[in-house]
Amino acid sequence: MTLRVRVSMFLTLLSIMSFVAAPARAAAPGDVVSAQPTTVYLLPGKLLEVPVNAWHLRYTSTSAIGTPNTVSGTLLVPKASYPLGRRPIIGYAVGTHGLGDQCAPSVSMSQGREAELALVSLFLLKGYAVAITDYEGLGTPGQHTYMAGVSQGHAVLDSIRAATRVPAAGLSAQAPVGIMGYSQGGASAGWAAQLQPSYAPELRLRGVAAGGVPADLGAVARNLDGGPNFGLAAAAGVGLDAAYPELDLEADLNDRGRALLADAADDCVGDLSKLAGLRFADISPIDLMNQPKWLARLAENRLGGTPPRVPVFLYHGRGDEIIPLAVGSALRSEYCRAGVNVRWASLPAPNHVTGAIEGGPLATEWLALRMLGLPAFGNC
pTM: 0.93
Final residue before a domain boundary, out of 240, 265, 299: 299
Asked if 367 contacts 90 with a C-beta cutoff of 8 angstroms, the reply is yes
320 shares its domain with 289: no
231 shares its domain with 148: no
> Does residue 27 lie in a domain region?
no
CATH of the domain at 60: 3.40.50.1820
Encoded amino acid at 344, one letter:
W
301: pLDDT strictly greater than 80: yes
pLDDT tens-place string over residues 159-202: 999 999 999 999 999 999 999 999 999 999 999 999 999 999 99
92 shares its domain with 185: yes
d(CA 70, CA 372): 33
Please count the structural domains in the chain. 2
CA atoms within 13 A on the CB side of 102: 7
Final residue before a domain boundary, out of 266, 299, 332: 299
* Interior angle at CA 116, CA 183 and CA 349, nearest 5: 50
Question: For the chain, how far is it from start to end, CA to CA, in angstroms?
Answer: 84
17: pLDDT strictly greater than 60: no
10: pLDDT strictly greater than 50: no
> Does residue 9 lie in a domain region?
no
40 shares its domain with 169: yes
Quote the strand ranges of the chain, DSSP E.
32-38, 52-62, 68-78, 89-93, 129-133, 176-182, 204-211, 312-317, 342-347
368: pLDDT strictly greater than 90: yes
> Does residue 317 lie in a domain region?
yes
Residue-range definition of the domain harbouring residue 320: 32-216+307-371
